[in-house]
Amino acid sequence: MGELLIRGDNPLSGEVKIGGRKNSAVAVLPAVLLAEGTSRLENIPAIRDVATYSRIISTLGADVGELRGGVLKIDASRLNPDVPPLELVKQIRASYYLVGALLGRFGYARVGLPGGCEIGQRPIDQHLKGFKSLGAEVSLEHGEVIAEADKLVGSHIYLDVASVGATINIMMAAVLAEGTTIIENCAREPHIVDVASCLNSMGARVVGAGTDTIKIHGVEKLKPGEHAIIPDEIEAATYAIASAATGGDVTLQNVVPKHLESVIAKLREAGIEIEDNGDWIRVISRDRPQAVRVKTLPYPGFPTDAMPPMMVLLSVAEGTSVVSEGVYESRFNHVDELQRMGTDIEVQGRTAVIEGVENLYGSSVKASNLRAGAALVIAGLVAQGETEVGDIEHVDRGYEFLPEKIRAMGGDVRRRQQSEETAAEEGEECARVVNLGQMQSAHGNG
Ligand code: EPZ
Protein backbone atom coordinates (compact mmCIF):
# COMPACT_ATOMS: atom_id res chain seq x y z
CA MET A 1 0.00 0.00 0.00
CA GLY A 2 1.26 3.56 -0.73
CA GLU A 3 2.38 6.30 1.65
CA LEU A 4 2.13 10.07 1.72
CA LEU A 5 5.01 12.08 3.18
CA ILE A 6 3.92 15.38 4.74
CA ARG A 7 6.02 18.21 6.19
CA GLY A 8 3.71 20.27 8.36
CA ASP A 9 3.47 23.39 10.46
CA ASN A 10 2.83 25.89 7.70
CA PRO A 11 -0.49 27.60 6.91
CA LEU A 12 -2.34 26.62 3.74
CA SER A 13 -3.18 29.47 1.38
CA GLY A 14 -4.47 30.10 -2.13
CA GLU A 15 -7.30 28.36 -3.97
CA VAL A 16 -8.58 24.83 -4.54
CA LYS A 17 -11.33 23.55 -6.84
CA ILE A 18 -13.73 21.06 -5.29
CA GLY A 19 -14.55 18.00 -7.40
CA GLY A 20 -17.76 16.06 -7.93
CA ARG A 21 -19.48 14.32 -5.00
CA LYS A 22 -18.05 10.83 -4.45
CA ASN A 23 -21.28 9.45 -2.99
CA SER A 24 -23.25 10.85 -5.91
CA ALA A 25 -20.87 9.36 -8.46
CA VAL A 26 -21.11 5.86 -6.98
CA ALA A 27 -24.91 6.11 -7.13
CA VAL A 28 -25.45 7.62 -10.61
CA LEU A 29 -23.14 5.04 -12.23
CA PRO A 30 -25.54 2.19 -11.27
CA ALA A 31 -28.60 4.43 -11.77
CA VAL A 32 -27.93 4.86 -15.51
CA LEU A 33 -27.92 1.06 -15.88
CA LEU A 34 -31.71 1.24 -15.63
CA ALA A 35 -31.94 2.32 -19.29
CA GLU A 36 -30.63 1.01 -22.60
CA GLY A 37 -28.47 3.45 -24.54
CA THR A 38 -25.64 5.82 -23.69
CA SER A 39 -25.92 8.14 -20.68
CA ARG A 40 -23.62 11.14 -20.23
CA LEU A 41 -22.45 12.10 -16.74
CA GLU A 42 -20.46 15.24 -15.87
CA ASN A 43 -18.35 16.42 -12.94
CA ILE A 44 -17.45 12.80 -12.14
CA PRO A 45 -14.38 12.79 -9.87
CA ALA A 46 -11.23 10.84 -10.77
CA ILE A 47 -11.21 8.66 -7.66
CA ARG A 48 -10.63 4.96 -7.02
CA ASP A 49 -14.26 4.26 -6.20
CA VAL A 50 -15.28 5.53 -9.66
CA ALA A 51 -12.58 3.37 -11.27
CA THR A 52 -13.75 0.36 -9.25
CA TYR A 53 -17.40 0.95 -10.09
CA SER A 54 -16.55 1.38 -13.78
CA ARG A 55 -14.82 -2.01 -13.70
CA ILE A 56 -17.76 -3.65 -11.92
CA ILE A 57 -20.40 -2.48 -14.40
CA SER A 58 -18.10 -3.31 -17.32
CA THR A 59 -18.14 -6.95 -16.16
CA LEU A 60 -21.96 -6.80 -16.50
CA GLY A 61 -21.75 -5.72 -20.13
CA ALA A 62 -21.88 -1.95 -19.75
CA ASP A 63 -19.60 -0.08 -22.13
CA VAL A 64 -17.82 2.55 -19.99
CA GLY A 65 -15.87 5.28 -21.80
CA GLU A 66 -12.74 7.00 -20.54
CA LEU A 67 -13.27 9.65 -17.89
CA ARG A 68 -12.18 12.85 -19.68
CA GLY A 69 -12.52 16.23 -17.99
CA GLY A 70 -15.10 14.85 -15.57
CA VAL A 71 -17.28 13.47 -18.38
CA LEU A 72 -18.15 9.77 -18.34
CA LYS A 73 -20.30 8.05 -20.98
CA ILE A 74 -21.90 4.71 -20.16
CA ASP A 75 -23.75 2.57 -22.72
CA ALA A 76 -25.93 0.08 -20.83
CA SER A 77 -27.56 -1.41 -23.97
CA ARG A 78 -25.85 -4.75 -23.60
CA LEU A 79 -26.11 -4.99 -19.84
CA ASN A 80 -26.93 -8.39 -18.33
CA PRO A 81 -27.85 -9.35 -14.75
CA ASP A 82 -24.74 -11.45 -14.18
CA VAL A 83 -23.16 -11.77 -10.75
CA PRO A 84 -20.50 -9.03 -10.45
CA PRO A 85 -17.03 -10.20 -9.26
CA LEU A 86 -16.98 -10.37 -5.46
CA GLU A 87 -13.37 -9.15 -5.26
CA LEU A 88 -14.53 -5.84 -6.80
CA VAL A 89 -17.91 -5.64 -5.01
CA LYS A 90 -16.13 -6.00 -1.65
CA GLN A 91 -13.93 -2.97 -2.30
CA ILE A 92 -16.75 -0.44 -1.93
CA ARG A 93 -19.92 0.10 0.06
CA ALA A 94 -21.96 1.47 -2.85
CA SER A 95 -21.93 -1.83 -4.73
CA TYR A 96 -25.24 -2.44 -2.93
CA TYR A 97 -26.88 -0.07 -5.45
CA LEU A 98 -26.41 -2.78 -8.10
CA VAL A 99 -29.25 -4.72 -6.44
CA GLY A 100 -31.72 -1.85 -6.88
CA ALA A 101 -30.60 -1.12 -10.42
CA LEU A 102 -30.53 -4.72 -11.69
CA LEU A 103 -33.76 -5.61 -9.88
CA GLY A 104 -35.41 -2.53 -11.32
CA ARG A 105 -34.34 -3.24 -14.89
CA PHE A 106 -34.35 -7.06 -15.08
CA GLY A 107 -36.42 -8.21 -12.10
CA TYR A 108 -33.36 -10.13 -10.93
CA ALA A 109 -30.17 -9.35 -9.03
CA ARG A 110 -27.52 -11.44 -7.34
CA VAL A 111 -24.78 -9.36 -5.70
CA GLY A 112 -22.24 -10.08 -2.96
CA LEU A 113 -22.60 -8.13 0.28
CA PRO A 114 -20.80 -4.77 0.06
CA GLY A 115 -17.47 -3.68 1.57
CA GLY A 116 -16.42 -0.12 2.33
CA CYS A 117 -15.21 1.72 5.40
CA GLU A 118 -15.18 -0.33 8.60
CA ILE A 119 -17.09 2.06 10.82
CA GLY A 120 -19.63 -0.11 12.53
CA GLN A 121 -22.05 -2.88 11.59
CA ARG A 122 -23.57 -1.19 8.52
CA PRO A 123 -26.42 -3.66 7.90
CA ILE A 124 -28.60 -3.37 4.77
CA ASP A 125 -31.84 -4.64 6.29
CA GLN A 126 -33.72 -1.45 5.29
CA HIS A 127 -32.67 -1.89 1.66
CA LEU A 128 -33.99 -5.47 1.66
CA LYS A 129 -37.17 -4.42 3.45
CA GLY A 130 -37.85 -1.96 0.64
CA PHE A 131 -37.27 -4.51 -2.12
CA LYS A 132 -39.60 -7.01 -0.41
CA SER A 133 -42.24 -4.32 -0.03
CA LEU A 134 -42.08 -3.79 -3.82
CA GLY A 135 -42.89 -7.49 -4.29
CA ALA A 136 -39.43 -9.02 -4.69
CA GLU A 137 -38.39 -12.37 -3.21
CA VAL A 138 -35.22 -11.49 -1.31
CA SER A 139 -32.76 -13.91 0.27
CA LEU A 140 -29.22 -13.89 1.64
CA GLU A 141 -27.30 -16.95 0.50
CA HIS A 142 -23.57 -17.53 1.07
CA GLY A 143 -22.92 -13.81 1.47
CA GLU A 144 -24.90 -12.82 -1.60
CA VAL A 145 -28.13 -10.83 -1.83
CA ILE A 146 -30.54 -12.50 -4.27
CA ALA A 147 -33.61 -10.48 -5.27
CA GLU A 148 -36.13 -11.47 -7.93
CA ALA A 149 -39.62 -10.42 -8.97
CA ASP A 150 -41.85 -11.14 -11.96
CA LYS A 151 -43.18 -7.64 -11.51
CA LEU A 152 -42.38 -4.84 -9.05
CA VAL A 153 -45.45 -3.05 -7.71
CA GLY A 154 -45.46 0.37 -6.03
CA SER A 155 -45.73 0.29 -2.24
CA HIS A 156 -45.77 2.47 0.90
CA ILE A 157 -42.46 1.95 2.72
CA TYR A 158 -41.52 3.35 6.12
CA LEU A 159 -37.77 3.26 6.82
CA ASP A 160 -36.89 2.39 10.43
CA VAL A 161 -33.64 4.32 9.94
CA ALA A 162 -33.18 7.41 7.76
CA SER A 163 -30.67 5.46 5.69
CA VAL A 164 -28.95 7.21 2.76
CA GLY A 165 -28.23 3.95 0.96
CA ALA A 166 -31.65 2.45 1.49
CA THR A 167 -33.38 5.65 0.33
CA ILE A 168 -31.42 5.68 -2.95
CA ASN A 169 -31.52 1.92 -3.49
CA ILE A 170 -35.30 1.67 -3.09
CA MET A 171 -35.75 4.73 -5.33
CA MET A 172 -33.76 2.93 -8.06
CA ALA A 173 -35.85 -0.24 -7.78
CA ALA A 174 -39.13 1.69 -7.77
CA VAL A 175 -38.77 3.92 -10.86
CA LEU A 176 -39.88 1.12 -13.23
CA ALA A 177 -42.37 -0.49 -10.80
CA GLU A 178 -46.06 -0.52 -11.62
CA GLY A 179 -47.88 2.24 -9.74
CA THR A 180 -46.71 4.65 -7.06
CA THR A 181 -44.17 4.09 -4.30
CA ILE A 182 -43.98 6.29 -1.21
CA ILE A 183 -40.87 6.09 0.96
CA GLU A 184 -41.25 7.66 4.43
CA ASN A 185 -38.50 8.65 6.88
CA CYS A 186 -36.05 9.10 3.99
CA ALA A 187 -32.55 10.46 4.38
CA ARG A 188 -32.24 14.02 3.03
CA GLU A 189 -28.58 14.25 1.99
CA PRO A 190 -27.94 16.56 -1.00
CA HIS A 191 -26.74 13.69 -3.15
CA ILE A 192 -30.13 11.98 -2.79
CA VAL A 193 -31.60 14.96 -4.64
CA ASP A 194 -28.77 14.58 -7.14
CA VAL A 195 -29.58 10.93 -7.87
CA ALA A 196 -33.29 11.74 -8.17
CA SER A 197 -32.43 14.48 -10.69
CA CYS A 198 -30.35 12.01 -12.68
CA LEU A 199 -33.22 9.48 -12.69
CA ASN A 200 -35.69 12.19 -13.71
CA SER A 201 -33.37 13.15 -16.61
CA MET A 202 -33.96 9.55 -17.75
CA GLY A 203 -37.72 9.99 -17.67
CA ALA A 204 -38.37 8.78 -14.15
CA ARG A 205 -40.97 10.57 -12.02
CA VAL A 206 -39.39 11.06 -8.57
CA VAL A 207 -40.72 13.86 -6.36
CA GLY A 208 -39.81 14.94 -2.84
CA ALA A 209 -36.12 13.98 -2.81
CA GLY A 210 -34.38 16.03 -0.12
CA THR A 211 -37.38 15.75 2.18
CA ASP A 212 -38.28 12.85 4.47
CA THR A 213 -40.98 11.63 2.05
CA ILE A 214 -40.24 10.64 -1.55
CA LYS A 215 -42.92 9.68 -4.06
CA ILE A 216 -42.03 7.67 -7.16
CA HIS A 217 -44.57 7.26 -9.96
CA GLY A 218 -43.46 4.15 -11.87
CA VAL A 219 -42.97 4.46 -15.65
CA GLU A 220 -42.82 1.83 -18.42
CA LYS A 221 -39.32 2.54 -19.69
CA LEU A 222 -36.42 4.94 -19.12
CA LYS A 223 -34.13 6.61 -21.62
CA PRO A 224 -30.41 7.34 -21.22
CA GLY A 225 -29.65 10.20 -18.82
CA GLU A 226 -27.74 13.48 -19.01
CA HIS A 227 -26.62 14.71 -15.60
CA ALA A 228 -23.87 16.78 -13.94
CA ILE A 229 -23.37 15.74 -10.32
CA ILE A 230 -23.07 18.19 -7.41
CA PRO A 231 -19.77 19.27 -5.84
CA ASP A 232 -18.50 17.17 -2.93
CA GLU A 233 -19.45 18.94 0.30
CA ILE A 234 -17.34 16.50 2.33
CA GLU A 235 -14.24 17.24 0.23
CA ALA A 236 -15.04 20.93 0.73
CA ALA A 237 -15.46 20.43 4.48
CA THR A 238 -12.16 18.55 4.61
CA TYR A 239 -10.18 21.39 2.95
CA ALA A 240 -12.05 24.08 4.91
CA ILE A 241 -11.04 22.33 8.13
CA ALA A 242 -7.46 21.89 6.84
CA SER A 243 -7.27 25.66 6.23
CA ALA A 244 -8.69 26.39 9.67
CA ALA A 245 -6.42 23.88 11.45
CA THR A 246 -3.22 25.20 9.81
CA GLY A 247 -4.03 28.87 10.46
CA GLY A 248 -4.56 29.32 6.74
CA ASP A 249 -6.44 31.45 4.25
CA VAL A 250 -7.94 29.28 1.50
CA THR A 251 -10.61 29.90 -1.13
CA LEU A 252 -12.67 26.84 -2.09
CA GLN A 253 -14.07 27.08 -5.64
CA ASN A 254 -17.09 25.11 -6.92
CA VAL A 255 -18.98 24.58 -3.67
CA VAL A 256 -22.65 24.78 -2.66
CA PRO A 257 -22.42 26.52 0.75
CA LYS A 258 -25.93 25.32 1.64
CA HIS A 259 -24.68 21.71 1.50
CA LEU A 260 -22.08 22.29 4.20
CA GLU A 261 -24.03 24.83 6.25
CA SER A 262 -23.61 22.87 9.50
CA VAL A 263 -19.84 22.68 9.02
CA ILE A 264 -19.60 26.39 8.23
CA ALA A 265 -21.68 27.22 11.32
CA LYS A 266 -19.50 25.03 13.56
CA LEU A 267 -16.26 26.47 12.17
CA ARG A 268 -17.57 30.01 12.77
CA GLU A 269 -18.50 28.95 16.33
CA ALA A 270 -14.85 27.88 16.73
CA GLY A 271 -13.76 31.38 15.71
CA ILE A 272 -12.92 30.71 12.05
CA GLU A 273 -13.79 33.48 9.57
CA ILE A 274 -15.77 32.23 6.56
CA GLU A 275 -16.88 34.35 3.61
CA ASP A 276 -19.79 32.80 1.71
CA ASN A 277 -19.86 34.04 -1.90
CA GLY A 278 -22.52 31.88 -3.56
CA ASP A 279 -20.41 29.22 -5.31
CA TRP A 280 -17.16 29.75 -3.45
CA ILE A 281 -16.16 30.24 0.16
CA ARG A 282 -13.05 31.70 1.77
CA VAL A 283 -11.83 30.16 5.04
CA ILE A 284 -9.52 32.34 7.16
CA SER A 285 -8.06 31.34 10.53
CA ARG A 286 -6.50 34.32 12.28
CA ASP A 287 -6.32 33.11 15.88
CA ARG A 288 -6.18 29.76 17.70
CA PRO A 289 -9.54 27.97 17.21
CA GLN A 290 -11.88 27.73 20.20
CA ALA A 291 -13.22 24.43 21.58
CA VAL A 292 -16.80 23.50 20.56
CA ARG A 293 -19.28 20.64 20.97
CA VAL A 294 -20.06 18.59 17.84
CA LYS A 295 -22.84 16.04 17.41
CA THR A 296 -23.01 14.22 14.09
CA LEU A 297 -26.47 13.58 12.66
CA PRO A 298 -28.06 12.79 9.31
CA TYR A 299 -28.33 15.83 6.99
CA PRO A 300 -28.82 18.69 7.69
CA GLY A 301 -26.96 17.88 10.91
CA PHE A 302 -23.18 17.92 11.16
CA PRO A 303 -22.03 15.21 8.70
CA THR A 304 -20.43 12.14 10.23
CA ASP A 305 -17.97 12.07 7.31
CA ALA A 306 -16.54 15.45 8.33
CA MET A 307 -16.14 14.41 11.97
CA PRO A 308 -12.66 12.79 11.81
CA PRO A 309 -11.15 15.88 10.11
CA MET A 310 -12.99 18.16 12.57
CA MET A 311 -11.44 16.29 15.48
CA VAL A 312 -7.99 17.35 14.24
CA LEU A 313 -8.97 21.03 14.38
CA LEU A 314 -10.39 20.55 17.88
CA SER A 315 -7.20 18.75 18.96
CA VAL A 316 -5.29 22.04 18.66
CA ALA A 317 -8.16 24.32 19.76
CA GLU A 318 -8.15 26.24 23.02
CA GLY A 319 -10.21 24.40 25.63
CA THR A 320 -12.09 21.12 25.92
CA SER A 321 -14.29 19.90 23.05
CA VAL A 322 -16.83 17.08 23.06
CA VAL A 323 -17.69 15.11 19.89
CA SER A 324 -20.68 12.75 19.84
CA GLU A 325 -21.10 10.33 16.90
CA GLY A 326 -24.82 10.08 16.21
CA VAL A 327 -24.81 7.92 13.05
CA TYR A 328 -22.41 5.00 13.53
CA GLU A 329 -21.83 2.95 16.65
CA SER A 330 -18.04 3.08 16.27
CA ARG A 331 -16.27 5.72 14.21
CA PHE A 332 -13.27 6.69 16.33
CA ASN A 333 -10.74 4.27 14.86
CA HIS A 334 -8.62 7.26 13.77
CA VAL A 335 -8.05 8.36 17.38
CA ASP A 336 -5.28 5.88 18.22
CA GLU A 337 -3.22 7.15 15.28
CA LEU A 338 -3.90 10.80 16.19
CA GLN A 339 -2.68 10.09 19.72
CA ARG A 340 0.72 9.12 18.22
CA MET A 341 0.93 12.73 17.01
CA GLY A 342 0.37 14.27 20.44
CA THR A 343 -3.39 14.74 20.65
CA ASP A 344 -5.18 14.41 23.99
CA ILE A 345 -8.43 12.56 23.25
CA GLU A 346 -10.45 10.24 25.45
CA VAL A 347 -13.10 8.06 23.77
CA GLN A 348 -16.07 6.91 25.85
CA GLY A 349 -18.43 4.86 23.66
CA ARG A 350 -19.87 7.15 20.96
CA THR A 351 -18.37 10.27 22.59
CA ALA A 352 -14.84 11.70 22.44
CA VAL A 353 -13.55 14.33 24.88
CA ILE A 354 -10.73 16.40 23.35
CA GLU A 355 -8.32 18.52 25.40
CA GLY A 356 -6.79 21.06 23.01
CA VAL A 357 -2.97 21.01 22.85
CA GLU A 358 -0.55 23.65 21.53
CA ASN A 359 1.21 21.45 18.97
CA LEU A 360 1.09 18.13 17.16
CA TYR A 361 4.24 16.22 16.21
CA GLY A 362 5.01 14.30 13.01
CA SER A 363 4.85 10.49 13.23
CA SER A 364 4.34 7.35 11.15
CA VAL A 365 0.63 6.53 11.04
CA LYS A 366 -1.77 4.43 8.97
CA ALA A 367 -5.13 5.26 7.39
CA SER A 368 -7.80 2.76 8.45
CA ASN A 369 -10.55 4.19 6.22
CA LEU A 370 -11.30 7.09 3.91
CA ARG A 371 -12.16 9.87 6.35
CA ALA A 372 -9.76 8.63 9.04
CA GLY A 373 -7.02 8.93 6.41
CA ALA A 374 -8.11 12.46 5.55
CA ALA A 375 -7.90 13.37 9.24
CA LEU A 376 -4.33 12.01 9.45
CA VAL A 377 -3.33 14.05 6.39
CA ILE A 378 -4.67 17.21 8.06
CA ALA A 379 -2.87 16.28 11.28
CA GLY A 380 0.35 15.93 9.24
CA LEU A 381 -0.18 19.41 7.80
CA VAL A 382 -0.62 20.82 11.32
CA ALA A 383 2.20 18.87 12.99
CA GLN A 384 5.78 19.99 13.49
CA GLY A 385 8.15 17.77 11.51
CA GLU A 386 7.46 15.01 9.00
CA THR A 387 4.51 12.61 8.99
CA GLU A 388 4.16 9.44 6.94
CA VAL A 389 0.56 8.35 6.30
CA GLY A 390 0.46 4.70 5.21
CA ASP A 391 -2.33 2.76 3.43
CA ILE A 392 -3.12 5.95 1.54
CA GLU A 393 -5.24 3.94 -0.93
CA HIS A 394 -8.09 4.46 1.52
CA VAL A 395 -7.86 8.22 0.91
CA ASP A 396 -7.48 7.78 -2.86
CA ARG A 397 -10.91 6.08 -2.86
CA GLY A 398 -12.68 9.39 -2.29
CA TYR A 399 -10.34 12.39 -2.69
CA GLU A 400 -9.44 13.40 -6.23
CA PHE A 401 -5.82 14.55 -6.73
CA LEU A 402 -5.38 15.10 -3.00
CA PRO A 403 -1.56 15.60 -2.98
CA GLU A 404 -1.77 17.92 -6.02
CA LYS A 405 -4.58 19.98 -4.49
CA ILE A 406 -2.78 20.34 -1.15
CA ARG A 407 0.45 21.33 -2.92
CA ALA A 408 -1.61 23.92 -4.84
CA MET A 409 -2.49 25.38 -1.42
CA GLY A 410 1.15 25.49 -0.39
CA GLY A 411 1.19 22.27 1.61
CA ASP A 412 4.30 20.04 1.51
CA VAL A 413 2.81 16.64 0.53
CA ARG A 414 4.24 13.98 -1.77
CA ARG A 415 3.75 10.27 -2.43
CA ARG A 416 6.62 8.02 -1.46
CA GLN A 417 7.73 6.43 -4.71
CA GLN A 418 5.97 3.14 -5.04
CA SER A 419 7.75 0.14 -6.56
CA GLU A 420 8.05 0.30 -10.31
CA GLU A 421 5.43 -2.36 -11.05
CA THR A 422 2.72 -0.96 -8.77
CA ALA A 423 3.42 2.54 -10.05
CA ALA A 424 2.97 1.19 -13.58
CA GLU A 425 -0.29 -0.53 -12.60
CA GLU A 426 -1.52 2.63 -10.88
CA GLY A 427 -0.52 4.60 -13.94
CA GLU A 428 -2.50 2.31 -16.26
CA GLU A 429 -5.53 2.38 -13.99
CA CYS A 430 -5.41 6.12 -13.63
CA ALA A 431 -4.87 6.64 -17.37
CA ARG A 432 -8.00 4.61 -18.00
CA VAL A 433 -10.21 6.76 -15.86
CA VAL A 434 -8.66 10.19 -15.93
CA ASN A 435 -6.70 12.26 -18.38
CA LEU A 436 -4.25 15.06 -17.74
CA GLY A 437 -6.95 17.47 -18.87
CA GLN A 438 -9.08 16.69 -15.86
CA MET A 439 -6.07 17.11 -13.56
CA GLN A 440 -5.46 20.53 -15.11
CA SER A 441 -9.15 21.49 -14.83
CA ALA A 442 -9.24 20.06 -11.32
CA HIS A 443 -6.69 22.54 -10.06
CA GLY A 444 -7.12 25.14 -12.74
CA ASN A 445 -7.94 27.43 -9.85
CA GLY A 446 -5.33 25.78 -7.69
C1 EPZ B 1 -23.62 6.52 3.14
O2 EPZ B 1 -23.39 5.26 3.75
C3 EPZ B 1 -22.26 7.02 2.73
N4 EPZ B 1 -21.66 6.09 1.79
C5 EPZ B 1 -21.36 7.18 3.96
O6 EPZ B 1 -20.16 7.81 3.50
C7 EPZ B 1 -22.02 8.10 4.97
O8 EPZ B 1 -21.26 8.12 6.16
C9 EPZ B 1 -23.43 7.60 5.29
O10 EPZ B 1 -24.19 7.46 4.07
C11 EPZ B 1 -24.18 8.56 6.21
O12 EPZ B 1 -24.24 9.82 5.64
C13 EPZ B 1 -22.09 6.10 0.51
O14 EPZ B 1 -22.94 6.86 0.12
C15 EPZ B 1 -21.43 5.10 -0.40
P16 EPZ B 1 -26.69 4.86 5.94
P17 EPZ B 1 -24.64 4.26 4.05
O18 EPZ B 1 -27.42 3.75 5.28
O19 EPZ B 1 -25.62 4.34 2.95
C20 EPZ B 1 -27.75 2.15 9.68
C21 EPZ B 1 -17.87 8.15 3.25
O22 EPZ B 1 -16.92 8.36 4.02
N23 EPZ B 1 -28.45 1.33 8.69
O24 EPZ B 1 -27.28 6.23 5.94
O25 EPZ B 1 -24.10 2.95 4.42
C26 EPZ B 1 -26.24 2.07 9.52
O27 EPZ B 1 -25.71 1.01 10.25
C28 EPZ B 1 -18.90 7.10 3.61
O29 EPZ B 1 -18.05 8.75 2.15
C30 EPZ B 1 -29.25 0.27 9.12
O31 EPZ B 1 -29.38 0.03 10.31
O32 EPZ B 1 -25.23 4.98 5.34
C33 EPZ B 1 -25.75 3.38 10.05
O34 EPZ B 1 -25.62 3.27 11.46
C35 EPZ B 1 -18.66 6.50 4.98
N36 EPZ B 1 -29.88 -0.49 8.19
C37 EPZ B 1 -26.89 4.34 9.74
O38 EPZ B 1 -28.04 3.53 9.45
C39 EPZ B 1 -29.76 -0.26 6.84
O40 EPZ B 1 -30.37 -0.99 6.03
C41 EPZ B 1 -26.63 5.22 8.53
O42 EPZ B 1 -26.34 4.40 7.44
C43 EPZ B 1 -28.95 0.82 6.43
C44 EPZ B 1 -28.31 1.59 7.36
In the predicted structure, residue 433 carries a pLDDT above the cut 50: no
Contacts of 200 (CB under 8 A, 6+ apart): 206
Higher pLDDT, 154 or 441: 154
Considering the chain, what is the average pLDDT of its residues? 93
Q: What percent of the chain has pLDDT over 90?
A: 91
Q: Is the pTM of this model over 0.85?
A: yes
> Hey, whose CA ends up nearest to atom 41 of ligand 1?
163
Q: What is the pLDDT of residue 443?
A: 39
Q: What is the pLDDT of residue 440?
A: 41
Separation of CA 76 from chain center: 24
Q: What is the pLDDT of residue 93?
A: 94
Each residue of 48-96: pLDDT tens digit? Answer: 999 999 999 999 999 999 999 999 999 999 999 999 999 999 999 999 9
User: Of 92, 93, 186, 395, which is best to mutate to test ligand 1, by the most ligand atoms within 8 angstroms of its C-beta?
Assistant: 93
Confidence of residue 445 (pLDDT cuts 50, 70, 90): very low
Ligand 1 centroid–CA 90 distance in Å is 16
- CATH of 22-228 given 3.65.10.10, 3.90.550.10, 2.30.30.90, 3.30.465.10: 3.65.10.10
Using DSSP's 3-state secondary structure scheme, residue 242 falls into helix
Which DSSP string do the residues of 408-443 spell out, in sequence order?
HTT-EEEEPPPPHHHHHHHHHHHHHH--HHHHHHHT
Ligand 1 centroid–CA 124 distance in Å is 9
Q: What is the pLDDT of residue 160?
A: 98
Confidence of residue 425 (pLDDT cuts 50, 70, 90): low
The domain 3-19+231-443: what is its CATH number? 3.65.10.10
Q: What percent of the chain has pLDDT over 70?
A: 93
Confidence of residue 330 (pLDDT cuts 50, 70, 90): confident
Concerning whether 198 is annotated as a catalytic residue, the answer is no
Locate CATH 3.65.10.10 in the chain: 3-19+231-443, 22-228
Beta strands in 336-427 (DSSP E): 344-348, 351-355, 364-366, 386-390, 412-415
Alpha-carbon distance of 400 to 185, in angstroms, equals: 32
Residues with CB under 6 A from ligand 1: 22-23, 26, 93-94, 117, 120-127, 161, 163-166, 187, 189, 304-305, 327-328, 370-371, 398
Confidence of residue 119 (pLDDT cuts 50, 70, 90): confident
Q: Which atom of ligand 1 is nearest to the CA of 94?
A: 15
Confidence of residue 437 (pLDDT cuts 50, 70, 90): very low
Ligand 1 centroid–CA 46 distance in Å is 22
Q: Which atom of ligand 1 is nearest to the CA of 234?
A: 29
In the predicted structure, residue 351 carries a pLDDT above the cut 80: yes
Alpha-carbon distance of 39 to 22, in angstroms, equals: 18
